[in-house]
Structure 1
Amino acid sequence: MDDEAGHGEYTRMRASDADRERVARTLHDALGEGRITMSELEERLDTVYAAKTLGELEPVLTDLPGASVAPWTPDSPPAAAAPPEQRIGGTPGSTFSIAVMSGADRKGNWVLPAQHNSFAFWGGVEIDLRQARYAEKHCTITAVAIMGGVDITVPDDIVVEVTGLGFMGAFETKNRKGASDSAPPGAPVVRINGLALMGGVEVKRVPREPRRRGRERDEHD
């Protein structure tokens, strides 16, 4: 009875943003491992972001091994980022991102396919690989910006090769403050090519974890 009462009290606790984001990351990892489908992910995320209590988060994790909605506490040590060579594999995400007089983004926990095509026309595309996995060790992003922009943020623990062309525009790489000069052995390799025509493609190498939260703004300078 005590255990049941304790569990009932626990499930009535209000869920925080950190709780919802933690469960969402678990679901994205399950997608990458092939445990759930994309449609199941979308359905479960709708439940996650509508949840008000921890009990409402439980159903989306019941069939996933080792998953828990245990509440986050500030004293809990942060989980260490997986070594880059262990982030290779998983079900590939979308093979394209298109923004025509609009915006599009690919960020958070997703799997970069072997070939991803990005196109921006009078619009903007944002691709963020800091929390991404890689379908293969060698992946390619082809970015085309015509009177628009494509911004690609990559962590400094992967290898990046940029060979794009700028014509009346810019196709460039920038190392943000604190970014390492080289990636560790076994790191994924991302090749970025394409064209910037009267537009811009910017590849930003940034530290995987900012030393202080306030420094995150440096990535957008």
Structure 2
Amino acid sequence: MKDELPEVKASDAEREQYAEILRTGLAEGRLTMEEFEERLGAVYAARTRGELVPLIGDLPERAEPPSAPGARAPARAGRSWADRIGRPATSRGAIAVLGGFARRGGWTMPRRFRALAFMGGGNIDLREAAFEDREVTIRAIAIMGGVSVTVPPDVGVEVRGIGIMGGFDPTADREAAPGAPRVVITGLAFWGGVGVERKRVKSKKKRPEPGEGD
């Protein structure tokens, strides 16, 4: 079974977790900037878990990589908030320069997430996400670009951002339901915008029973 793992396709959340281990290695002086940039590029280009594992082989792991046996399964919509709060973060930031980024699916939102969109756009979707803590902060900088944040209906939201010829959407502000996390959105929008939307996860369409729709 272990030999089969390298052929498993890598997910965006897995690549982000390996990237975070590399960032920690750089901050601690274990990697030079040249090594860090080379490995980080290889992480984001990796297609399978087998390509990811060697990139951190000489670094201590702060969080168990998703490919390791026994790793916790990603959060899924429908689980209780108690199961989705208190997990290790899989991504702590994203940058879109003349392009875009997306964080969606079963990733884990950190206590503080930094997002930059410069003449580009970003999408932060928390509907299926887990959370590192019960209160998290998104610091969004949108310069001639935009960042959209999607949250489940029961998550609390507080928008504190500053808009200069741009703006932050405060219409989603709401107290959290009992047990649900709270998201604080702050930062700066200059000729750009940061929007917040409440949505439920789309349910799978029910297959028609035999004889239905005739």
How does the TM-score come out when normalised to structure 2? 0.59
2:182 is matched with which residue? 189
CA shift, 1:161, in A, is 1.1
Structure 2 spans left out of the alignment, 5+ residues:
1-7, 18-42, 52-65, 207-214
- CA distance in 2 between counterparts of 1:66 and 1:94 reads 16
Is the CA contact (8 Å cut-off) linking 1:174 and 1:202 kept in structure 2?
A: no
Is the CA contact (8 Å cut-off) linking 1:173 and 1:205 kept in structure 2?
A: no
Matched, 1:100 2:105: no
Matched, 1:44 2:37: no
More helix by share: 1
Pair 1:85–1:145, CA change in 2 (3 A): same
- CA distance in 2 between counterparts of 1:185 and 1:169 reads 33
Is the CA contact (8 Å cut-off) linking 2:77 and 2:128 kept in structure 1?
A: no
2:122 is matched with which residue? 125
User: What is the aligned-residue RMSD (CA, Å)?
Assistant: 3.7
- CA distance in 2 between counterparts of 1:163 and 1:173 reads 8
Structure 1 spans left out of the alignment, 5+ residues:
1-19, 32-38, 47-59, 68-78, 176-180, 214-221
CA shift, 1:105, in A, is 1.1
Pair 1:105–1:24, CA change in 2 (3 A): closer
2:198 is matched with which residue? 205
SS for the counterpart of 2:180 is coil
**Identity across matched positions, percent:** 39
- CA distance in 1 between counterparts of 2:115 and 2:155 reads 20
Moved over 2 A (4+): 41-46, 60-67, 181-184, 207-213
Pair 1:101–1:189, CA change in 2 (3 A): same
- CA distance in 1 between counterparts of 2:86 and 2:72 reads 20
CA shift, 1:166, in A, is 1.4
